[in-house]
A and B are shown apart, each in its own frame.
Chain A
């Protein structure tokens, strides 16, 4: 168990190193110059050179990377090239919003997909299953901006039940906060619901075909007990892993939803930073999102060991 945790930790460190190098290289290769973004396109070459010197951009990329990396090790992610604000402070303001959205979306997705997956996996081929199957196909095939506009139109514009755009922070009251968070969270959740339901359905079908389910049924146990106690647990392992991956994806991939609904989260910050070539901010964001992603998955792997007794005793090496 200890070796497993240590191994997982080493894994996290290696992944983060690779991610930070990759993000640096990528920004280096992308054309554009933060100096022009700040000074405007009509800037004189002298002014640009002066700004480059001030920002350290006249030095080679590897030097800048090492300097930045040294800072990161001390907890200093540098300052935004665009606003001069410390990167950690800027992220600290935006991150809670995105995290709340991701958690909310994941909760909605699980609450809806668990019963849907169990039921359709049990009643395969029945009308409800066919309908769900068609619906999930449509959902998976539709791009997120379409879902967003669709939900926004029907739930906000038409009925007025929810605000069409905007955000209220938690300190303005939970109810108001949730009312604003609901539509973007639901939009994020919709795709996850479809994917989760399909995954759980197919795993339920596999498990329900197992000999031990037939055997448990022959004990005369009620169907509810068979489905929820005997079948759901073994069928939910891959869903559990997938929801960890989803959470990471929701953190980094909420860009479009945040833009459409005007949510001041990480996604908006990311777009602004990319537009202005604020590479210090982008590196900080990428590293942070990668960190959260990798840590969540490491935690899931470890928790998994507690969930599945077979993995626990066989001591799987990772």
Chain B
């Protein structure tokens, strides 16, 4: 995916392609047998691009991030396929080599800022340890750098914060600290796993603005995981919709929200509350539950819940293809199915409303 248009296409000596994920599979060990949390995911990302990753809970968004990082221990599960980061296949690197890239090349911001910080270590300690280990800064240099970072993410009185502990900070402050930590060693790829879900709406907007600014500054690539479609609509270049551990539709964000092709994406968009709808309108929920990832069934994963599924959907899995050559990929045998009410026009408006909201 290449980023379109105005923002940050500045030329550089570095190759444009940063991440190339091919047929990534993450099989987690569980008492009920293997769970296919990520199942055949393919994705490419260029430098400076933001990809939104959306889907229901349990669709494999967070696990995709963890699998890309290689954060899954051998005891917990197995990763197959390849994750080429800047030309190196991360899945083939031993843990020690991967650890050298964590923090410096790939970094993560997690959903719950409250549990992401060690409660018994000071903010300063947690912010400087990466700097000291990876960048070999002295205590003093790391401290100065930490103060800079805190100032940068908009934390007042940064000097005082260094001596404070996580519980002394508000949720928004903690998430800012987390972001400062994630960015401290200058990563090129930031995996932001629902970075604002636990925060209130104003703080959410501040944090997302902050991420966007920092991203522009460092020409950082970002994967923004969210189940908030409004957030994704307004702040990403591309959007990928996940279902049952796979990407079922991926397109430039504008296209995806204007003309979703796959019924699941349509259902997801239709389930969003709209300001234009009369009050007390029932939200359009998709009936059924996300698929059981311990079982692998033939055919389209969404077929059991899809109102438009036919025989072929239940026997043959649709590939993720770009039918029109416009960079809009989806996996569905019968795209654009549905009543007129659920298609085109309504969804396009909803997409626009969302963008205005965000």
Contacts and interface: CB of A to CB of B under 8 A. Distances in A.
A217 B71 contact: yes
Contacts of B134: 220
A216 B118 contact: yes
A52 interface: no
B110 A211 contact: yes
B133 A310 contact: no
Chain A interface mostly helix, strand, loop or mixed?
helix
B112 interface: yes
B351 interface: no
Given A211-B112, A229-B129, A219 B118 contact: no
B167 A310 contact: yes
A129 to B, nearest CB: 13
A218 interface: yes
Contact of A220 (B121, B133, B165): B133
Contact of A212 (B115, B133, B168, B185): B115
Contacts of B107: 218-219
B119 interface: yes
Contacts of A233: 120-121
A166 interface: no
Contact of A234 (B69, B110, B116, B120): B120
Nearest to A313: B168
B343 to A, nearest CB: 41
B72 to A, nearest CB: 10
Contact of A309 (B69, B99, B115, B165): B165
B133 A222 contact: yes
B71 A218 contact: yes
Given A212-B119, A313-B167, A220 B104 contact: yes
B110 A309 contact: no
Contacts of A249: none
A219 B106 CA distance: 9
Given A211-B110, A309-B167, A313-B167, A219 B116 contact: no
Interface of B: 69, 71, 99-104, 107-108, 110, 112, 115-122, 126, 129-130, 133-134, 165, 167-168, 178, 181, 185
16 contacts: A211-B110, A211-B116, A212-B115, A212-B118, A213-B118, A216-B126, A219-B181, A221-B99, A222-B99, A225-B129, A233-B121, A234-B119, A307-B120, A308-B120, A310-B120, A310-B165
Given A225-B129, A233-B120, 4 more contacts: A218-B107, A219-B107, A222-B99, A307-B120
